[in-house]
Copies of this chain bind each other. A is one copy, B any other.
Amino acid sequence: MARTVFEKCDAITRVAEVFRELGFEGASLYEITERTGLSKGSLYHFFPEGKEGMAQEILADVDQWFVREVFEPLERDEACVAITRMWQAIDSYFRSGRRICLFGAFALDETRDRFAKPIRLYFKRWIEALDGALVRAGVDAVTARSLAEDIVGGIQGSLTLARALKGDAVFSRTLARLQRRVDDALSPKRKSPSYASTRNSLKEDCDRESGASGRRDRGE
C-alpha cells in the first residue's frame, strides 16, 4: 500500500478545488478522498474539525491570497499600478473563468450562514479597497464606490455566466469591459460607450451545444 506524504498547504489547495467543483454539500468525504488522493486519515489529521474545518481553512487561505495579491496592493500601492495588477491577478486566479469564486458560491448555498462573516468581510474589503484605489486615482467618491461595486459584482456574475454557458470567453469579455470602464472613469475626455470593440466573437459561448461535458479541467 503506497503511502503518499502530503503537505498541509497542498491538502488545502486540493480540497479547495473539490469544493469549487462540487460545492460544500456536494463534496462528500468520499468524493474528497477520491479526487484529492488524501485518505480520511490524512484529512482528519490536517483538519480535525472535519468538513467544516476544511471549509474554514480553505476560505481563510483564499482570503489570504486575495489580501496579499489584490487587497493590500489596492490599499497600499500606487493606484493605477495596483488596479492593473488586480486585472492580472483576477484573470489568473479564476483561470480565465474556468474556476469559480468559493466565497461567491458559498454565499449562495446553504453554507452561507455558517461562513457568513468571512464571506461578508471578503467582499466588503475587496469593494472598499478598490473604491479607495479609484479615489486615489482621481475618481470622484460617488463614482468610485459605484464602480467598485460594479466591478466586484460584475466579476461574480461573469463567473456564473461562464459556468452556465460553458465557455470562458464571457469572463474575458467582462474583464475587458470593466477594465475599459475604469479607464473611462480615469480619463473622462473621450467617451466611448465603454462597450464595443470587445471583439471575442460574442456568440461563441451561447451557441455551443454541450461541449466536453466530462471531467472539468482543474487548472493546475
Q: Using CB atoms and an 8 Å cutoff, list the residues of chain A in contact with chain B.
A: 21-23, 25-27, 100, 103-105, 107-113, 116-117, 119-120, 122-124, 127-128, 140, 142-143, 145-147, 149-150, 152-161, 163-166, 170, 173-174, 177, 184-185, 188, 191, 193-198, 202-203, 206, 210, 213
A195: chain B residues within 8 A (beta carbon) = 142-143, 146-147, 150, 185
The smallest C-beta distance from A88 to any residue of chain B, in angstroms, reads: 20
Selected contact of A193 from candidates B103, B117, B158, B185, CB within 8 Å:
B185
Structural contact, A107 and B160, CB atoms closer than 8 A:
yes
Structural contact, B120 and A166, CB atoms closer than 8 A:
yes
29 contacts between A and B (CB under 8 A): A23-B25, A23-B109, A25-B26, A26-B110, A105-B109, A108-B159, A108-B160, A109-B109, A116-B166, A116-B210, A120-B166, A127-B206, A142-B195, A142-B196, A143-B196, A146-B177, A146-B195, A147-B195, A149-B170, A150-B177, A150-B195, A153-B157, A153-B170, A154-B154, A156-B156, A156-B157, A156-B161, A184-B193, A185-B193
